[in-house]
Structure 1
């Protein structure tokens, strides 16, 4: 039986760690537009343990050579990589390549057509104008800030082998509000700034947590972008307080909201100084009408009193980065962070737990110690992992690719494997592929 049904994909990429095993069922190799060989594989674990990305890119040793994950849907994971290419007369330009990973019996890694132009295009532009024009929109597009991935199932008598197109198709849809709200398109376009792009049924959705969602029905021959505002109670512009996700085909919105009247969000609130609520909404869709319906509310005072929290909370804790389970509609995952002792450890870190909360039953289902300080000497790679999480913690990405990989959990039943991370402490999974690890072991097991 395949295991697990979905994963929490860690955005931190472990680079050039070791040669890939020949029999790794997750590994795929491709090339970027410069011709560099690029290999990707995954360490897959059941939530709330994060699954991680391992990269082999021997040429990617420059200070600004970057590789990151953008989006995921079904068996696909979309990556973006950037690197400098040399042009004429001592000029250089940063290229952005998109690589599409597809899981399966034989995973693949395909280079997508460039959005910023090929090396030849850039060289021609430089020769013609003497410089390269880069608008803010073009930069966002090149960096993948407005890009998502959506797989759509189509009926066909025969299905040819998978082949990517050699260019992008440009569409210019109209933007219309779902409800009869006062809508100023010029003002909307000025302030709109997508935080994430997610798939939902036949829709691709651009999400701005300060405002709402733009829905694009990819099956519509006359495409339009339908704008739906978030509930006024749930809007916030601070990072790490909200999430939109799809669970069992239903779109949900979760927000951490201050219970004070000052309009602030709950992101940096200590539970001992201020109260907040975790509120969940469900999107109700009837034909072309859409509306938010409030479903669940969990107050912070109840959250901190749940069984199991006493052993986790001890020093200025705060919850952030909610994540909606793909398979359990009532479960929300949270990141619990509390200040570490930098002076004693000798590096920056914040003790971090990953929690699974049942919003209906008001229970702490599972927890996982994600980051804890090491008393003994640790490798530079692990320190780099801790430091990255300290300075620029990124939300986890829900992904279903584990359903499409050739993974087996033979020594335990699937239910036993899923229960191996339950409160109060994670246990060993008992099968080679899936082990419960603390944060240092999580990082060290990769190197």
Structure 2
């Protein structure tokens, strides 16, 4: 859209049913409704007994795409029964997509189980592959017994997936380990599952290459916020400081640290609030140009704390974006006034949240329209209303225009609240996952 034509015009809305070449995926899975025969599911056996089925409902951005599941537990093993009926997993965060590469999605489930003495949960990972016009695939991964029985203990997205054009894939989990007392050097522990081998490989004391001792010290506070894949690298991102890149297919893996173009935070949580918050509300690292580039977007004001709300900071005023060069240096390629963008679109100015760069067009960035600053009574009313609506928009950085707009409903995952336009990501302030549907392997 040319800037002259767009000035003063209202943004266009998208049709609901498209055949997108990429998708903004809601990371929380939704239970398949009774009588739903329109969504094809791929099934796999679970380690705790029974079966799990998963299917994708895709829509063109800024509409939200989502995954449906059907869990059919082995009631004989789970609680002494004998029937095999579809059952809902009670907590939203127990059925979740944690990463994606190409058209492959890494899924994390916590299935309820009864070991005969105490009720517990079985943690299991699956890889779902969405092949266009072909059969969907769902593959269960064996448990990584070499190091831990619960891989994703801190609930952060520290596990990623990388798939090559040949169809070979690897799932990798990275832990940053600080040095001893007085030693600022850090190393990494890497656990990788190779799909063609069907087994895990654990590598200890993986070196992390940094420029200086100051970077090493900051890595001692590392917390992974998101994991994505770029080329032959899996990238672990801490929005307070930088990116860890690792060629997970290498026989002798090394981790390279690339700092983000921001001042790294001294620590990993707010010393007064005692929380880390949700930095994805203000920052994002995205793979764009059909997988050929990495872009960083920052809308955080200088005094922001990343707690998913605006009561403790000024509202974001500008959108800033950087592109990572082949020399692994950040080049700033755009600074846009949020007030100007809304003014040109003829829309009232609103806070922006949860940036995500278009997977095809690196100059288009999607945002959630946040709520205006509210008093305590308004915030309490919103908490009681699980159906509060939020809009997603696409901002074109070069023309400084709002290209598209759609509206979704914030939902925390109750089964009777799932609709085509609900989004758990919006409710929990979690980033959307970019999914490339324009691949055939």
Normalised by the length of structure 1, the TM-score is 0.70
Partner of 2:126: 99
SS at match of 1:306: helix
Equivalence map 1:59-138=2 (5 Å): 59=73, 60-61=87-88, 63-64=90-91, 66-88=94-116, 90-104=117-131, 105-115=134-144, 138=150
CA distance in 1, matches of 2:155, 2:324: 30
Partner of 2:43: 29
Partner of 2:83: none
The one of 21, 30, 33 aligned to 1:14: 30
Contact 1:324 1:333 in 2 (8 A): yes
Equivalence map 1:250-265=2 (5 Å): 250-258=293-301, 262=303
- Distance apart, 1:246 and its partner CA: 1.0
Partner of 1:41: 55
- Distance apart, 1:264 and its partner CA: 5.1
CA distance in 2, matches of 1:225, 1:147: 15
Partner of 1:221: 251
Aligned length: 362
- Distance apart, 1:189 and its partner CA: 5.3
Provide the aligned C-alpha RMSD in A: 3.8
The one of 49, 53, 71 aligned to 1:57: 71
Change (3 A) 1:19 1:143: farther
Contact 1:241 1:266 in 2 (8 A): no
Partner of 1:418: none
Change (3 A) 1:192 1:233: closer
CA distance in 2, matches of 1:68, 1:396: 12
- Distance apart, 1:220 and its partner CA: 3.2
Give the unaligned 5+ runs of structure 1. Answer: 118-132, 157-161, 406-447
Normalised by the length of structure 2, the TM-score is 0.71
CA distance in 2, matches of 1:199, 1:172: 21
Partner of 1:128: none
Equivalence map 1:157-306=2 (5 Å): 165-172=197-204, 174-178=206-210, 180-183=211-214, 185=216, 187-188=217-218, 190-232=220-262, 238-239=277-278, 240-248=281-289, 249-258=292-301, 262=303, 268-269=309-310, 274=315, 276-286=317-327, 290-306=328-344
Change (3 A) 1:17 1:221: same
Give the unaligned 5+ runs of structure 2. Answer: 1-17, 74-86, 169-193, 269-275
- Distance apart, 1:139 and its partner CA: 5.0
SS at match of 2:152: helix
SS at match of 1:298: strand
- Distance apart, 1:154 and its partner CA: 5.2
CA distance in 1, matches of 2:222, 2:399: 36
SS at match of 2:165: coil
SS at match of 2:370: strand
Partner of 2:159: 147
